[in-house]
Amino acid sequence: MRVLILLLIFILTFSYGKELVPCKVLRVVDGDTFVCLLNGKKERVRLIGVDTPESRPNKKALRDSRRSGISLEKIIEMGKKATRFTKKYLKKGKIVFLEFDIEKRDRYGRLLAYVWLDKKTLFNELIIREGYATVYTRPPNVKYAGRFLMAQRYARERRKGLWSEDL
């Protein structure tokens, strides 16, 4: 099994032309954060370029509600949907591949990463494209900002997730 994983890492690294680091998903915290085992250490990972609604009442959920005009209850409901979406793809035990940008950690100590499910699927882009997240780029980590904006436009035009009329 270990040889298979190393072979997959080798193939993925040369397919993308970038360094990808495998990590084993331990649990999903919310729509844009999860915990994984990386080099034998538990790491909290925050998706780069992505913001999902809060899934619990807190200060940010209240701010988002006031700013958007969407009720706190709806914000939390969408946050729970985003969390379920993330749990569907980042199941406990799944090996995913992390790609880093310029800054490695945020002010909370979380590892910042682009998460590849396989050699074609960038999860950060997928969650935006399906409408469960909005683009949240913070320089200098902007490697895929253009892709993320196109994914968000796709979700908005098709009224997916956050952009649906059901909100």
What pLDDT, on the 0 to 100 scale, is given for residue 69?
Answer: 87
Q: Fold for domain 2-163?
A: OB fold (Dihydrolipoamide Acetyltransferase, E2P) (2.40.50)
Which residue among 2, 19, 44, 54 is the active-site one? 54
What pLDDT, on the 0 to 100 scale, is given for residue 167?
Answer: 60
Which residue among 2, 27, 44, 46 is the active-site one? 46
Q: Indicate if 54 belongs to the active site.
A: yes
Q: What is the DSSP string of the chain?
A: -HHHHHHHHHHHHHHHTS--EEEEEEEEEETTEEEEEETTEEEEEEETEEE---SS-SHHHHHHHHHH---HHHHHHHHHHHHHHHHHHS-TT-EEEEE--S--B-TTSPEEEEEESSSS-BHHHHHHHTTS-EEE-BTTB-TTHHHHHHHHHHHHHTT-GGGSTT-
Which residue among 66, 73, 105, 110 is the active-site one? 110
Q: Indicate if 110 belongs to the active site.
A: yes
Q: Where are the domains of the chain?
A: 2-163
What pLDDT, on the 0 to 100 scale, is given for residue 4?
Answer: 46
| Predicted confidence pLDDT, tens digits, the chain (167 residues) | 554 443 444 444 444 457 999 999 999 999 999 999 999 999 999 999 999 999 999 999 999 889 888 899 999 999 999 999 999 999 999 999 999 999 999 999 999 999 999 999 999 999 999 999 999 999 999 999 999 999 999 999 999 988 887 66
What pLDDT, on the 0 to 100 scale, is given for residue 1?
Answer: 56
